[in-house]
Structure 1
Amino acid sequence: MSIWNTMFHLCLLLLSSPLATANLEGDALYAVRRAVKDPDNVLQSWDPTLVDPCTWFHVTCDGDGRVTRLDLGNAKLSGRLVPELGKLHRLQYLELYMNNLEGPIPEELGALNSLVSLDLYHNNLTGTIPPSLSTLSNLRFLRLNGNRLTGRIPRELTKLGSLKIFDVSNNDLCGTIPTSGSFSKFTEESFKNNPKLEGPELMGFVRYDVGGCK
């Protein structure tokens, strides 16, 4: 085997090692830190010179050293969500509720196949709900209430058979409410205070022509 083949296989081995994975996940988390303002310094321990992000506060890892949970609810963070979050492939709980985050929900969150809970409620998020979230087959809790989200509720989300709690109340969504799949069991509380939203569960609310809903 030539020296080049040897070096190539060594590089592949290094890239597949737990240390390399920790570096990739650490880079993703540090991208979060760079994208937000943190007046209370809750992310102070998120130091890129420390290889293992499992030592950082508000981060939980499994036995393999992979990030499974981010607990940053009510942390006074402002700024934007970053697409790099989609690289945390074993993440089960993404808790970013009650902050001042703005901008869109990254479609890359649809790559978080292990995600059980996505809590982004009570922020200032805008844009539409990404249809890519429909790939999160393990998702049980999806709470996006109390933001400024617009557009339709993606019909693709009805494929989420494990979904137990869905809340998009207090946004600016439009169109009609899906009623198939897991959505058949959600009450009007999940959708209230979206004046442009209509559907069987909201018959008593003001109805709008949804032809122009995007």
Structure 2
Amino acid sequence: MASCAMFQLLLLLLLSIIVAPTNANIEGDALYALRRAVKDPGLVLQSWDPTLVDPCTWFHVTCDNDNRVTRLDLGNAKLSGNLVPELGKLKRLQYLELYMNKLVGPVPKELGNLKSLVSLDLYHNNLTGFIPATLSKLSNLKFLRLNDNRLTGRIPRELTKLGNLKILDVSDNDLCGTIPTSGSFSKFSEESFVNNPRLEGPELMGFVRYDVVGGSC
């Protein structure tokens, strides 16, 4: 029995050794995909070395005790370029801070895979396209700030399911259609939606515009 218990212990240790670097490699690869996709004139990503197994040693990256990435702090870092779908592989990410840069292109729908996310701050960029309905899967999300971009289309009604959402700001975009008023959206004021010239105001309770198809208006 003792030898069996020893074997099981050794097996668990071996598995932990194998799994930890695998997670680190996946997350390191995801972050390095972002580095490749952006221009970094301030060299804030200079420490993001793909030859290092553990991205927790990189600047602007915070990890938990399991060496899993929990924060990405790149606000006001003078980055330009695109967000990448690989960011959706950071399964324990709680804070994605990429505000006040010069990022362009769409918000990746893969961000909806970040089930631990508490704060998504992409404001003051030049992002375009629709707000992904997949963000409605972020059940822990408390702060969603997408203001001051060039986002278009409707506000996804699926986002009203975000019961923990405390702060929402989609102002200063080019959104259209009507403003949801059900669920978590019942507590947000007009300031969350201002300066979207094509938004028609709050929708009537129980009434949804049927001429809205997909993300377009």
Contact 1:92 1:116 in 2 (8 A): yes
| Residue deviations 1:77-136 (CA, integer Å, cap 9, x gap) | 000000000000000000000000000000000000000000000000000000000000
Structure 2 spans left out of the alignment, 5+ residues: 1-10, 204-208
Instruction: Pick from 50, 54, 61 the counterpart of residue 63 of structure 2.
Output: 61
Structure-2-length-normalised TM-score: 0.87
Structure 1 position 17, deviation (Å): 1.0
Contact 2:180 2:202 in 1 (8 A): no
Matched position secondary structure for 2:129: coil
Structure 1 position 14, deviation (Å): 7.9
Contact 1:89 1:114 in 2 (8 A): yes
Aligned residue number for residue 38 of structure 1: 40
Aligned residue number for residue 3 of structure 1: none
Which amino acid letter does the alignment assign opposite residue 99 of structure 1? N
Instruction: Pick from 47, 70, 86 the counterpart of residue 84 of structure 1.
Output: 86
Aligned length: 197
Which amino acid letter does the alignment assign opposite residue 176 of structure 2? C
Alignment of 1:72-151 (within 5 A): 72-151=74-153
Aligned residue number for residue 171 of structure 2: 169
Instruction: Pick from 14, 24, 36 the counterpart of residue 22 of structure 1.
Output: 24
Structure-1-length-normalised TM-score: 0.88
Q: What CA distance in whole angstroms lies between the structure 1 residues aligned with 2:168 and 2:202? A: 17
Cα RMSD, aligned residues only? 1.9
Classify 1:81/1:15 alpha carbon distance in 2 versus 1 (closer, same or farther; 3 Å).
farther
Matched position secondary structure for 1:198: strand
Contact 1:15 1:21 in 2 (8 A): no
Q: What CA distance in whole angstroms lies between the structure 1 residues aligned with 2:210 and 2:166? A: 27
Q: What CA distance in whole angstroms lies between the structure 1 residues aligned with 2:210 and 2:139? A: 29
Structure 1 position 173, deviation (Å): 0.1
Structure 1 position 200, deviation (Å): 3.2
